[in-house]
A and B are shown apart, each in its own frame.
Chain A
């Protein structure tokens, strides 16, 4: 009996075991998946929780109910991977050995990494929305916020769902408008990047979205610490941004067991080949989803598209064939822009977001780099897709590789 061990029953891990259970004979392969708890969150829904648009029940399910028969679910905290010895030890002392290991333990916000963030103001005037508890606490705070300086802040890249801070800003602007208090709120967007929009073509199309909403941008801001007494963000070059309510995206890092096992980079992400997700150090280890160091967005769509490639490759490999699939970095993200509209972006390692239609040329129904109501409805419909199609590993009509069909390139636009 061969053993496949998957660490993490999140988006990537759940899809992988559902797909591979159908592809690997139950008499030949034992599949085990480990996670620390039994709650699977629909993380894209965290964006809507602060504004009361989703209920907590809509974004949570039990992990084990999303796994197929014939997959063992182990609940436990991982101590470390003994890669040379092909085994994983849990904190409770249990040891699980494997022939192949998939690390799918994701990334998480680490507020403790920025001095002052977890101080007396944490969840009083400093909030995050990338956790279930954080998003719910922020919902409560927004109900009682009656104006002042409202700062949205990114600590450093890479972060999960890198468009979410922008979406959050657009939704907050709409929220304050709808409550008739927008003129009492001063909004600031603070980013370590050179601007809120950094891709040339996306900037041309979307660059004015924050200006139009009267959101000031503080760029190239590397936070060194937060002063909880004066409620101020302080940067390494001693700039200061004060706030009445701060919504921050803390530094994101991979799981600590990755570091303990000597398998991670400086942020605990597992270095892998960006096309095959295979570890260069240990050929029987793969890292999929946010846990890897590939230069793609940490996003569910990347997990989804890369899992499609990984699963075919994995089946080839265990049958002694060369892996022929190559992940192209395909990413596809809806961007909520407020007032019932949204945008869509579709890109990969080599192609920046371009305007056009998706998935069908001319037909769409979705429009790339353009605010439409259909894009917003697509984002809402996606929650159903996630629970019922993507996680169970059912086929989708969306090709894993990015397609140029339907995209407008500059040469076509200016003949």
Chain B
């Protein structure tokens, strides 16, 4: 775990740059994290990010793409447009949550 500074925010991150303490997250940081991976956040992006944050607070686990689609109401195709190539990983990164993982 290392400490890094993004756009004036001092944050704790893992080797891939994912936040390790999701309490350090706020809206301004999300905008900066998104910019770091070349995404400018629109209202459609925010809808997905807010769902992920709220769902994580309830479930203790980052929602899968399917869950963002069926429960959050955003079609999977749209998620691939909003967060190209790797929506699950990119959404988690911007939302300050652990990336989706398997057991090994």
Does A237 belong to the interface (CB within 8 Å)?
yes
Do B102 and A206 touch (CB < 8 A)? Answer: no
A236 near B89: Cβ-Cβ < 8 Å: no
B-side interface size class: 20 to 34
**A129 interface hit (Cβ, 8 Å):** no
- Contacting pair B100 A297 (CB below 8 A): no
The answer for the CA separation of A206 and B60 in the assembled complex, in Å, is 27
A198 in contact with B101 given A293-B59, A295-B60 (CB within 8 Å)? yes
Per DSSP, chain A at the interface is: loop
**How far apart are the CA atoms of A387 and B103 in the complex, in Å?**
25
Q: Are B103 and A333 within 8 A (Cβ)?
A: yes
Which positions 316-369 of chain A face chain B at CB distance < 8 Å?
A: 331, 333, 335, 345, 347, 349, 353
For B86, what are the chain A residues with a Cβ–Cβ distance below 8 Å? Answer: 194, 220
A347/B61 in contact, CB under 8 A = no
Contact with A along B85-99 (1 / 0, CB 8 A): 110110000000001
Tell me which of B76, B86, B103 has the highest count of chain A C-beta atoms within 10 A of its own C-beta.
B103
Contact B76 A222 (CB under 8 A): yes
Chain A positions 260 through 294: 1 when the CB is less than 8 Å from some CB of chain B, otherwise 0 = 00000111000000100000000000000000010
Complex-state Cα separation, A266 to B67, whole angstroms: 7
Say whether B54 faces chain A, with CB atoms less than 8 Å apart. no
- Identify which of residues 32-48 in chain A touch chain B, using a CB-to-CB cut-off of 8 Å: none
Q: Contact mask B1-41 → A, CB, 8 Å, 1/0?
A: 00000000000001100000000000000000000000000
Among B64, B70, B84, B103, contact of A353 (Cβ-Cβ < 8 Å): B103
- Tell me whether B70 and A266 are in contact (CB under 8 A): yes
Given contacts A206-B104, A266-B70, A345-B104, contact A200 B65 (CB under 8 A): no
Q: Does A199 contact B (CB under 8 A)?
A: yes
State A232–B59 Cα separation when bound (angstroms). 35
Measured in the bound complex, the distance between the Cα atoms of B101 and A163 in whole Å is 12
Interface residues in B51-73 (C-beta closer than 8 Å to A):
59-61, 64-67, 70-71
Q: Are A236 and B104 in contact (CB under 8 A)?
A: no
Task: Check B66–A199 contact: CB distance below 8 A.
Answer: no
Give per-residue flags for A178-209: 1 if the beta carbon is below 8 A from chain B beta carbons, else 0.
Answer: 00000000000001111001111011001000
Q: Which residues of A contact B15 (CB under 8 A)?
A: 200
| Cβ contact within 8 Å between B60 and A274 | yes
Which of chain B's residues have a CB closer than 8 A to the CB of A192?
A: 64-65, 88
A256 CB within 8 Å of chain B: no
Set of chain B residues within 8 Å of A349, measured between Cβ atoms: 60
Q: Is the CB of B60 within 8 A of A222?
A: no
In this assembly, does A162 line the interface, its C-beta being within 8 Å of a C-beta of chain B? yes
Sort chain A's interface into a size bin.
Answer: 35 or more
Among A156, A220, A236, A347, the residue within 8 A (CB) of B64 is A156
Chain B residues near A162 (CB-CB < 8 A): 102-103
Contacting pair B100 A194 (CB below 8 A): yes
Shortest A43–chain B CB gap in Å is 17
Give bound CA distance, A297 to B66, whole Å: 18
Rounded to whole Å, the gap between the CB of A238 and the closest CB of chain B is: 9
Contact B67 A193 (CB under 8 A): no
At the interface, yes or no: A303 with Cβ under 8 Å from chain B? no
A49 CB contacts on chain B under 8 angstroms: none
Asked, given contacts A156-B64, A163-B103, A345-B103, whether A200 binds B80 with beta carbons under 8 Å apart, the answer is no
Would A222 and B101 count as touching, CB distance under 8 A? Answer: no
B60 contacts across to A, CB distance below 8 A: 274, 295, 349
From residue 362 to 405 of chain A, which have CB atoms closer than 8 A to chain B? none
Interfacial chain A residues near B61, Cβ < 8 Å: 295
> A210-248: which residues lie under 8 A (CB-CB) from chain B?
220, 222, 224, 236-237
Contact in complex: A236, B80 (CB < 8 Å): yes
Asked whether A157 is an interface residue with its Cβ less than 8 Å from the other chain, the reply is yes
Question: 10 tightest A-B contacts by CB?
Answer: A295-B61, A198-B101, A202-B104, A237-B80, A266-B70, A220-B86, A236-B76, A198-B102, A162-B103, A194-B89
Seen from chain B, the residues whose Cβ lies within 8 Å of a Cβ on chain A are 14-15, 59-61, 64-67, 70-71, 76-77, 80, 84-86, 88-89, 99-104
